[in-house]
Amino acid sequence: MDWPATEDFAMPSWRMVYLRRHLCVWTDTVKLYYGQSREDAPFLWDFMTDYAVGMAKIFHAVRLDNAHSTPLHVSRHVLSRVREANPHCWVFAELFTGNFETDLLYQRTLGINALIREAMQCDSPHDLGHKLESPLWNGHPVGALSPVPTLDRADNQTPAQKRHPRDALPNAAIVAASCASAGSVRGYDDLFPANPSVVSERRHPWDSGCCLGRYAFCSPQKGYQNLGYPPKAFSGLLAADFEVEA
């Protein structure tokens, strides 16, 4: 919450943010304390480094989740090992420092290839259009970061939650028109009416009456009453697909 992104707020000397509760609480996230060097937490450093290297050996790219919350010296160490295992590994970063110069510092220090930006965080078509034409999202001057505007991320609300189910297609069309790569997460293309919680959701796709592939685990017989959605909000493409599944 408004701390300098380059400082590790988990350090004991940093303003006691946990004691004062001056931090954003994510129920599915545990903040790890790496310390100043591997000697402070050797198991943690080795475990996370081995995990990242394993991913780099399997995939062509890695994503730095919450890169702004991970100390730079830790990310630099892990990525150096990743590049030893896969010299051509592409590095994406979910990086929200709130400052363009700080973004560039992370890019220079870590060798980030592309930043992830979220279309679902835009409040209006004008806001989305403005960001798509901005230098960070769409410009390509020499040395610029490559943007990757995503339609949605795993912790975003779905179009049905934030706007309307019908918004999914035009939102995707606008993002697809940008001069950058684009992507989405499972659930956006399926028109989930709600983002299943990674903390509290305990149902499985093979459970009776559970449609994981469509509409956030609601059966056609029960509709959307369990999620509190008014029936009038579901028509058009949703209604047609609903009838096919029923």
Out of 22, 28, 40, 68, pick the active-site residue. 68
Report the run of H or E that residue 43 belongs to, with start and end.
helix 42-58
Please, what sign has the CA dihedral across residues 119, 122, 127, 130?
negative
Residue 203 structure tokens:
């149902």
> What is the number of helices (H) and of strands (E) in the chain?
8, 4
Per the residue annotation, which of 73, 155, 167, 241 is the catalytic one? 155
Residues 164 and 176 sit within 8 Å (Cβ to Cβ)? no
Of 2, 40, 65, 152, which one is the catalytic site residue? 65
User: Quick check: is 140 catalytic?
Assistant: no
Tokens coding 51 = 């995990």
Query: How many CA within 13 A on the CB side of residue 14?
Result: 16
Q: Is 68 considered catalytic here?
A: yes
Q: Does the annotation mark 77 as catalytic?
A: no
Catalytic positions, written as ranges? 65, 68, 155
